[in-house]
Structure 1
Amino acid sequence: MYPNLQNNERVLMLHKAKIKRDSVVVFDAYGVDQNNTGLTKDTKYVKRVIALPGDTVEYRDNGQLFVNGKFRSQGYITSQQQVDGTLKVAANLPKAKGVVLGTGSTFKVPKGKYFVLGDNRSVSNDSRYYGFVPRKKILGVVKVPFWNDKHDLINSYQRAD
């Protein structure tokens, strides 16, 4: 989720919050990311939900992502961070094996599963590598407090006297 979240950064997670498109979720990566042999039962990933169960996902030329026919930009990172070279093959997605992204091929997110990506897609280990994330593996939705860089502390304020 870099640059929006740093490794080991603390966040507020709501266990019972509704999972929506663009929700940032925490999930148990053990058993999901089978490509990473160093995972333990305590390994958690934080990713953004791009597609919900039943959604149709398509990658077009230059890595452009479409969900249900609508373009999904990377507006949460700078254009400088939006680097070409994202993974072009959905090799590990069930029912999408062999789908070459960027050719107009599409796949549907199965019931009870989610398609997640990191915010910096060009360098993220996400659903393009390990497939869909089952709902039962999602621990909660991240809520990030907002503050501006003029304040040193989250939720700090100046008192108006």
Structure 2
Amino acid sequence: MTMKRLLSFIWNWIAPIAFGIAVYLVVTTFWVNIVTINGDSMAPNLLDAQKVLVTKTENVKRGDVIVFDARKEDPRIQAGNKDYVKRVIGVAGDTVEYRDGNLYVNNKKVNESYISSDEQVTGTEASFGSSWSLGTLSSTDMWKKQDQGKTVVPKDSYFVMGDHRSVSNDGRYFGFVSKKHVIGRVIVPFWYSKTVQNNIGKDRNHFFA
């Protein structure tokens, strides 16, 4: 084999591989990544060890499920943990409160059909009682210092909760999530059931009851 043919043969093998690697790096860096769920805080909609897609976006809305760097948000994060997956309940300027068995954002009842009635009530009341608001939650010393005493979601921040409320370590316990620490929004791949896909995305368009 001549040198010219050898170089052509090598190029025909290397070029597609190099192109594939480049595309993968661009996609995972700027658009989409794959994340493995760790734990049950988003059950039954997202399960432990389930793989989901995470898309990078600046347009986070109520009802979106996001992934964020918990090391910069949860003062009591357990060793080995890194990222949390939670649902956005409140965005900048929102008030959030729980009363009479219902969750309210800006005094409007939230459509919580994506979780069981038990989690809507008992799970949501866990540790904080039958009535609470951002003001009462932020009055405890559990929250990050910069979040304490606030009654509305600050600018460029989110208030998040897990779907499995009774076990979820979420905003009720540590405060708000800064926009700059959000990795992206969860998209359930097409191969999961329609029920799971709908429950992840339902509140994005139908947040209030």
Query: Does TM-score exceed 0.5, indicating one fold?
Result: yes
What RMSD over aligned residues (CA atoms) do the two structures have, in Å?
2.2
Give 3-state SS (helix, strand or coil) of 1:16's partner: coil
Q: What TM-score do you get using the length of structure 2 for normalisation?
A: 0.59
Pick the aligned partner of 1:26 from 52, 58, 67. 67
Whole-angstrom distance in 2 between the partners of 1:82 and 1:66 = 12
1:4-153 superposed matches below 5 A: 4-16=45-57, 18-39=59-80, 43-62=82-101, 64-84=102-122, 85-88=125-128, 90=137, 91=140, 92=143, 94-96=147-149, 107-146=151-190, 147-148=192-193
Partner AA of 1:86 in structure 2: A
Count of residues paired in the alignment: 137
List per-residue Cα deviations over 1:49-83 (Å, max 9, x = no partner). 00001111122244x22101111242112234445
Higher helix fraction (1 or 2):
2
More RCO (CA 8 Å, sep 6+): 1
Contact 2:66 2:182 in 1 (8 A): yes
Say if 1:113 and 1:81 are closer, same or farther in 2 by CA, change over 3 A.
closer
Segments of 5+ residues of structure 2 without an aligned counterpart are 1-41, 129-135, 195-209
Residue identity over aligned pairs, in percent, reads: 46
Q: Which runs of 5+ in 1 are unaligned?
A: 98-106, 150-161
CA shift digits 1:19-73 (9 cap, x unpaired): 0110000001002111224255xx11100000001111122244x2210111124
C-alpha change, 1:32 and 1:148, in structure 2 (3 Å) is closer
The code of the aligned residue for 1:123 comes to V
Structure 1 pair 144/72, CA: closer, same or farther in 2 (3 Å)? Answer: same
1:115-160 Cα offsets, whole Å, 9 max, x none, are 00001222211000010000011000111135448xxxxxxxxxxx
Bigger radius of gyration: 2
